[in-house]
Structure 1
């Protein structure tokens, strides 16, 4: 082991150094549970084993080697989010539910990513997306209060967790931080103009390849030009995403170029992702099939589609839902340098060397 490497988390010295933040993690979890209980939510415990890990292009699941009593193999996946299972519960009649559960994602290992991490997810039937924006602000402030944190900080960026979040549309954020008007390449009633968008990105100094889609360019601009400026001084709610980035959200009736989706940022870190949930099963299937075709093109394989989930989508009531990265919230509240620093037993790194 390198002399500069930190001691193992299970060593007495390593654990003693980490323990104050871990205790705060437990207190934050308990307090958030109390908050949801006081609001009339029911805590649910969705199974991690699912028929599909999720169907977004760049989302990579972990396949589970499930074997039946007869020895026959069955395809199963560890969930990347409890979303599919929780929406089935909404279809079954639940009205306000939350879960604080572990999820699993392949190809993820950075200061902000881990192959296994904790996600806080909640749903409100009949509630507008603005209600979940208020929820997010309350949860951030509550975590800061528990940790006695006056400010959140990450990589020299700071924000007050008690200030009301700034609400900015994606179009406004791209104009402000990238100098690009997304509507130039998103004509009303027409297809996205990927070639024009690519030229705009190149002019802004962003690398573009010949096979990049409009969504590829959008993601790169968001990551490199926009996200580093979000949630500075106070949290930012980035809303009105382009319709091509709707995922499982409804497209706006007022403007079909955008979806009813928002993300919460603090110190340049994405904390939460929320949707006014799509309840059109045919539209959801079309999106999944398009995303999985793109996943096969890029990665050579794709995840299966959960037919049971699509059936549930078709009978879901109107609802809004949000998913918040609990490890990231604890990291910011406790001043940690990575999500691994606030996990009780960080996932081993198969690429690490002794």
Structure 2
């Protein structure tokens, strides 16, 4: 259980996040966490709740709000995913998601830099942080000064792995190699955006106009930790439906129920150019405070109640 001091630190971070977006004219939204249908993602297993699902992300609802006329929105919320708990994972966690119409993924990278530097300045008196905006994590100093590094995913495989990204995908070893051979090297001098994923890993990202084999997707790494996943959003409902059909097939092979989110697909047609990102707030807190386990920064570790 967190001390009053730790709770105040967490409160300061949440206030700083909200202030950042309010100052940029974002609308904070608060969408349902229990839904009758989710976005089909085979690698994410949801919790059921009396025949419905606990959200794994607020993305579905937030994009429907964007389609309804909102231009820029953010949300701080709890999400739920069935995965093994550990130093960097919890089945219930705090997510920050934000979306901006008229932007692409490069705009989000710049806004991430601004957000982290504001957080650093607002909580500069907390453990592991100094007034210059550097952080100390696992005994190493990481500069948050702009600009941050940008490394294409394919170049990352060339630098740190013994096979290419395309070969890793073909051999069904992509996630294994990314986690074991590449991620530990990323973001130790300054944060790194790993960007331009092969189209097979596009998820909900749009394909690059000048490189149809790549998707406009990035992930943010600091100190070897993956903190955020951002896209130029795919807004072509027909293409998104095709991707969902593939995901649904994989989900059914795992003996899980799934159905097409039709209202979501209808909303995509009204979105236009949009960029969106999901950031793990608990990991950010852990990093800023120089902690090495999520349980060290959570208000209550519910496992003690078992």
> Could you state the TM-score of these two structures normalised by the residue count of structure 2?
0.92
**Residue 160 (structure 1) aligned with residue 143 (structure 2):** yes
**Correspondence for 2:183 among 227, 230, 249:** 227
Query: Is the contact between residue 24 and residue 146 of structure 1 (CA under 8 Å) also seen in structure 2?
Result: no
Runs (4+) off by over 6 Å: none
> Residues 237 and 268 of structure 2 are in contact (CA less than 8 Å); yes or no, is this contact kept in structure 1?
yes
Report the TM-score, using the length of structure 1 for normalisation. 0.80
2:17 to 2, 21, 32: 32
Write the deviation string for residues 138-157 of structure 1: whole angstroms up to 9, x where unpaired: 22222222232134344455
In 2, Cα distance between equivalents of 1:158 and 1:109: 27
* 1:286 CA drift (Å): 1.2
Evaluate the alpha carbon distance shift between residue 127 and residue 78 of structure 1 in structure 2; reply closer, same or farther with a 3 A threshold: same
* Unmatched tracts of structure 2, length 5 or more: none
Q: Residue 45 of structure 1: which of 30, 33, 38 is its match?
A: 30
Distance 2:140 2:173 in 1: 25
> Hey, what does 1:204 align to over in structure 2?
none
CA positional deviation for 1:255: 0.7
Q: What is residue 307 of structure 1 aligned with on the other side? A: 262
Could you say which residue in structure 2 is the equivalent of 1:191? none
Larger Rg: 1
Q: 1:303 to 1:232 in 2, by over 3 A?
A: farther
Query: Residue 176 in 1 paired to residue 126 in 2?
Result: no
Q: Is the 8 A contact 1:115 1:347 kept in 2?
A: no
Q: Secondary structure at the match of 1:88?
A: helix
Contact preservation (8 Å) 1:128, 1:276: yes
Match of 1:4 in 2: none
* Equivalent position SS for 2:188: coil
- Partners of 1:123 and 1:322 within 8 A in 2: yes
Would you say 1:328 and 2:304 are equivalent positions? no
Alignment partner, residue 261 of structure 1:
217
Aligned length: 299
CA-CA distance at 1:313 after TM superposition: 1.4
- Within 1, Cα distance between the matches of 2:223 and 2:199? 26
Match of 1:343 in 2: 298
Cα-Cα RMSD: 1.9
Query: Are residue 59 (structure 1) and residue 35 (structure 2) matched?
Result: no
Confirm whether residue 122 of structure 1 aligns to residue 105 of structure 2: no
Q: Say whether 1:94 aligns with 2:70.
A: yes
Secondary structure (helix, strand or coil) at the match of 2:215 reads: strand
Q: Indicate conservation of the 8 Å contact 2:286/2:297, yes or no.
A: yes
Runs (5+) with no aligned partner, structure 1: 1-8, 10-14, 66-74, 186-196, 199-212
Does the C-alpha gap of structure 1 residues 300 and 158 become closer, same or farther in structure 2, counting only changes over 3 Å?
A: farther
Q: Name the CA distance, whole Å, in 2 between partners of 1:105 and 1:215.
A: 26
SS in 2 for 1:174: helix
CA gap 1:288/1:158 in 2 versus in 1, 3 angstroms: farther
1:84 aligns with 2:60: yes
Answer yes or no: is the 8 Å Cα contact 2:206–2:216 preserved in 1. Answer: yes
